[in-house]
Chain A
Amino acid sequence: MRAASVCVAAALLACPSMGTAKPAKEKKMAYTSLDLKQGLFRCDIPAGWGQARDEREEARTKVQGVHLIGPKEKGPLAPTLSLRYFASGNTVAQTADAYLKRQLEPGLVPLKGEKTSEPKKASAAGLAGFSFVRDTFEFIPPRSMDTKRIPVREEYVILERKEGFFVLLFKAPSASFKRWRPAFQRALDTFQPL
């Protein structure tokens, strides 16, 4: 398996673990190899994390991949890892640039407290792209007069290929983001388009 690296100098500030020595916690995390022919990639993913796919929806949207959900600790939210390939003609965004633009737009009304980093150049497995980090919130329980705002962090890596693009997204409660991020780093390091 070809090793890959994400070269995102500025993102090191936002995600201290990226590209640095692996924290002790990572040693405890076991990994398994995911080989997704329909998503056109393979990489290592944390063993024991829940996996969800929807192949019929993938056929409709032309967005293929897998959604992984980790264990919940204190609180209602679990870390998640979404590894998706947006094929040409998909229903979400036609190009990596269009996808990135939409994600980075502040929205017609910016969400107070939400911060999205500037996009930085990134690469993995020889594919060039961008990455950015968003600090935002989940609302639990939703639609309630007493909703709790739970800070979450999302880290996106968008990789372009000749046709279509990959979006690798790691999301976790801000309080436990660092603890679980090595799982994302491992996926990035081992990511290999098929």
Chain B
Amino acid sequence: MMFPDYTISMPVPPILLGACLALFSSLSYGEDGPKKPPEKPAAEEAADPQLAGYERDIGTDFNPAVAEEFLRDTAFQERLKKSDPAKYQRLFKAATEAKDMETVLKAYDDPSKLRLALASHTRSQLLSDPAKLKEWARQNMPGVDPAALEEALWGWGHLSFSQQAYLSMKGFDQDKWEKMGFFERDKLVLDWGTGLMDGLMQKAPKTKAQFEEMDKIRWEAWGALRVDQRRALGEYMKKADTAVQSIAEVEKKLKASKDPKLKAMLASAKSAGSVDATLTHLSGIYDGLGMTNTAVAVNRPAHADEQFNEGARSALSSMFATDFRKRLEGTTAGDAALAFYEKNPLQIAVRDIGTPLAHYDPGTKELVLNEKYVRKYLQASGKTVGDLLTDKKVFDGLAMEALPTLLHESVHQQQHAWALQQKVPVWFHQDMEVEAMSMESLFILEKARSDPAFKKMLDEGQARSTLISESVALSNSLYRDVDAFRSMIRADYYPALHTLEGRSYHDSANAETVAGLVKAELARRDGLSASARRPLDEGGSMESPWFYNQTDPEAYRKSLEGINTAALRGLLIGAQGYGGAIPGYYQPNLQRRDASERLVDKRIQEIRGGTGGASRLREPPLPPGGGG
């Protein structure tokens, strides 16, 4: 699904930061950081109405329409960069913030999703004061519903009764609440939701009524939870639901039974203290009845012969790597991947990676499939790891099912290689996911047309796998309306990821924070006595901590106090260089996004056989990168 270790709090993975720093030597600012902008004579500035307009509309008003125009006006940007680099950086930063916030506010009609997006905007000037954001939206985006925005911002009147009760217990009332910033509010409500979630995940319901009570709490907590929490809770609730439904089914089946062993197992299932234990007992009952309940089989803890060891992982990885190439040919994304793997090694690994289905690991350059996903496949089909490694039919079923997911991760690998080839840092942003999801869904459409076995797998697999159903639904959605598909991917699938503009803006803001605080720390040291200063010049940590979208710059400032002075100077140069280089990193990403959209539009148009949607096809499609 995404690169590992990428979180909102760490948008520049260290490896990439290293790569960025390595690029600094080629930047035009030199070792002293950005040169002081040459003062432009007032008369000349006044004579540049375009600049005056941009300064007013973007620098002051954060007008998103003008911001987009500016971000695409590379000729003007080049001129301004030459004449006044500092002003250019300021305008660029403001433009990315305005454009990003527009994308965010328009992508989410559901306040709980909008909130997830806002929660990742820790450096946003517009979000620093909820009232400021509301006013900006009123001025610039009249289509945004003020009530929905207020709800997303955790307006007091939109809090549930239990949320208000919880906050009251913590000493907050409406007056206090309305004076608080969004992030402070969000943290408190997140704590509330996390408490509910933790409580739910301790429960082991046995009856429909007990489950329904849990379900009610689940949906109440849902809007306060993060994406990973929602996934984890979803997984737990699915197990709980399966346990409750199966107890009811087994009770009916055993009503007339005289088998004391099975009845004892049912009693154990009904008194088990955890959902996993309940499912284990239920699984034993179904075995005893000579029946299969697929839901129980998939959700119970794995048996020993369904678990992987290192040898099995390694063998499966090799099988995947050999198989994957064979299945790609004849599709847009598949052919791009094949071309990529002509020049780059293909490595596929299977290991436990938590809740995502899969990810691309840039450290090992592996497409990693979640072991849990493979286990579920085995459990659903009543097979073992041994069967998977020795029975071609069992492996083929998995390989076919996992194909779109691996292709998706391959797109991320190609994006990664493309960024390095472009000499830009790998910015993992929402648009990268939109591209990967579009290519995955396009792949499903193309592959289903050309490969009857794949189409059969999609047809038949839906009965056993919700994931396959979801993939089919997504590909149909892409086919019906490409723009709606993209909006859905942003809002429903990756609400917490920054857009390209959001990523640019946040990295600019972070670099500015680093530079400002490091400068202040260096100035403080200049004022120290020689004896106080010596340990910092000659000793101290050589680490160069980075400011990763934290909400508290003071904690970062404190972390600088123990850093070696020379290391701090290096950090300052790095921060200034990185901040100055961001517009140059943005443009290739923008071009890639445009090219990718054109390519998908064109292919969908071809699949539809020429009906509708032609107006976006102004330019010939470009390959979506991947020449590694």
* Chain A contacts to B: CB under 8 angstroms: 48, 50-57, 61-62, 66-67, 69, 72, 74-76, 78, 80, 89-94, 98-99, 101-103, 105, 107-114, 136-137, 139-149
Asked whether B1 lies within 8 Å of A146 as measured between CB atoms, the reply is: no
**What residues of chain B lie closer than 8 Å to A93, measured between beta carbons?**
611-613
> Chain B: which residue is nearest A61 at the CB level?
B483
- Whether the pair A107, B479 counts as a contact (CB closer than 8 A) is yes
Contact, CB under 8 Å: B106 / A109: no
A78 pairs with B1, CB closer than 8 A: no
A residues less than 8 Å from B514 (CB atoms): none
Query: Is B612 in contact with A92, judged by CB distance below 8 angstroms?
Result: yes
Residue of A nearest to B299 (CB): A146
CB distance from A84 to the nearest CB of B (A): 11
Residue pair A145, B370 in contact (C-beta under 8 Å): yes
Q: Are B615 and A89 in contact (CB under 8 A)?
A: yes
B611 touches A108 (CB 8 A): no
A105 to B478, CA, bound (A): 13
Is A148 a contact partner of B106 (Cβ separation < 8 A)?
Answer: no
Interface-centre pick from B448, B463, B469 (highest chain A CB count, 10 A):
B469
Per the 8 Å Cβ criterion, residues 455-482 of B in contact with A are 455, 458-459, 462-463, 466-467, 469-470, 472-473, 475-476, 479-481
**Segment of B26-34, B139-147, B193-201, B518-526 in the binding face:** B139-147
Measured CB to CB, the closest approach of chain A to B1, in angstroms, equals 6
Evaluate contact between A108 and B449: CB separation under 8 angstroms.
yes
For A111, the chain B residues whose CB sits under 8 A away are 462, 469, 472-473, 476
B373 in the interface (beta carbon within 8 A): yes
Contact A52 B106 (CB under 8 A): yes
The segment from B89-97, B229-237, B257-265 found at the interface with A is B229-237
B62 within 8 A of A: no
A-B contacts besides A61-B483, A102-B608, 16 pairs, CB < 8 Å = A50-B148, A54-B106, A56-B65, A57-B483, A67-B109, A69-B110, A91-B615, A107-B472, A110-B459, A139-B473, A141-B231, A144-B355, A144-B357, A145-B373, A146-B238, A147-B470
A67, B106: Cα distance in complex, Å: 11
Q: Using known A-B contacts A52-B144, A69-B110, A102-B608, determine if residue A147 contacts B466 with beta carbons closer than 8 Å.
A: yes
Beyond A78-B110, A144-B355, is A109–B475 a contact (Cβ under 8 Å)?
A: yes
Question: Which residues on the A side are within 8 Å of B614 (C-beta)?
Answer: 91, 94
Which B109-128 residues sit within 8 Å CB-CB of chain A? 109-112
Q: A94-B612, A140-B234, A148-B238 are in contact. Are A56 and B64 (CB under 8 A)?
A: yes
Question: 10 A-B contacts, Cβ less than 8 Å apart?
Answer: A48-B147, A90-B615, A92-B481, A98-B612, A105-B479, A107-B479, A111-B472, A112-B462, A112-B463, A144-B355
B1: chain A residues at CB < 8 Å are 143
Contact partner, B492, options A66, A112, A142, Cβ 8 Å: A142
A148 CA to B481 CA in the complex, in Å?
24
* Set of chain A residues within 8 Å of B109, measured between Cβ atoms: 50, 52, 67, 69, 80
| Given A80-B109, A139-B473, A149 and B445 contact (CB-CB distance below 8 Å) | no
CA distance A74 to B480 in the complex (A): 29
Q: Is the Cβ of A137 less than 8 Å from the Cβ of B473? A: yes
Residues of A within 8 A of B613 (CB): 91-93
Summarize B's interface: helix, strand, loop or mixed.
helix
Chain A residue at smallest Cβ distance from B215? A74
The 0/1 profile, CB within 8 Å of A marked 1, for residues 392-427 of chain B is 000000000000000000000000000000000000
Shortest B372–chain A CB gap in Å is 6
B493 beta carbon closer than 8 Å to chain A: yes
B357 partner residues in chain A, CB cutoff 8 A: 143-145
A55 to B142 CA separation, bound complex (whole angstroms): 8
Given contacts A69-B109, A80-B109, A141-B231, is CB(A109)–CB(B372) below 8 Å?
Answer: no
Q: Are A112 and B469 in contact (CB under 8 A)?
A: yes
In the bound complex, how far is the Cα of B468 from the Cα of A113, in angstroms?
Answer: 13
Q: Are B459 and A50 in contact (CB under 8 A)?
A: no
Distance of A152 from chain B, by nearest CB (Å): 11
Q: Mark B582-621, 1 if CB is under 8 A from A, else 0.
A: 0000000000000000000000000110011111100000
B106 touches A57 (CB 8 A): yes
- From A90, A94, A99, A141, contact of B234 by CB (8 A): A141
In the complex, are the beta carbons of B483 and A55 less than 8 A apart? no
Nearest CB to that of A72 among chain B residues? B219
Q: With an 8 A cutoff between CB atoms, is B376 at the interface? A: yes
B216 in the interface (beta carbon within 8 A): yes
Per-residue contact bits, chain B 341-377, to A (CB 8 Å; 1 contact, 0 not):
0000000000000010100000000000010110010
Assess whether B51 is interfacial by the CB under 8 Å rule.
no
B143, B480, B613, B616 — most chain A CB neighbours (10 Å): B143
Are the CB atoms of B470 and A143 closer together than 8 Å? yes
Interface pair B469/A91, CB less than 8 Å apart: no
Complex Cα gap A136–B110 (Å): 20
Cβ distance A144 to chain B, nearest Cβ, rounded Å: 5
Which of A50, A98, A136: most chain B CB closer than 10 A? A50
In the complex, the answer to whether B612 meets A50 with C-beta atoms within 8 Å is: no
State the 10 A-B residue pairs at the shortest beta-carbon distance, nearest first.
A53-B143, A93-B612, A112-B462, A107-B476, A146-B235, A146-B238, A50-B148, A139-B470, A50-B145, A54-B106
Q: How far is the CA of A78 from the CA of B108 in the complex (A)?
A: 13
Given A91-B616, A112-B462, are A149 and B469 also a contact pair (CB < 8 Å)?
yes
Q: Check B388 for interface membership: any CB of A closer than 8 A.
A: no
Instruction: Give the complex CA separation of A51 and B141 in angstroms.
Output: 12
Q: For A103, list chain B residues within 8 Å (CB).
A: 480
Given contacts A141-B227, A142-B493, A145-B357, contact A108 B475 (CB under 8 A): yes
| B101 sits at the interface (CB 8 A) | no
- Inter-subunit contact A52/B470 (CB<8 Å): no
- Separation of A51 and B146 alpha carbons in the complex (Å): 9
**Min CB gap A21→B, angstroms:** 32
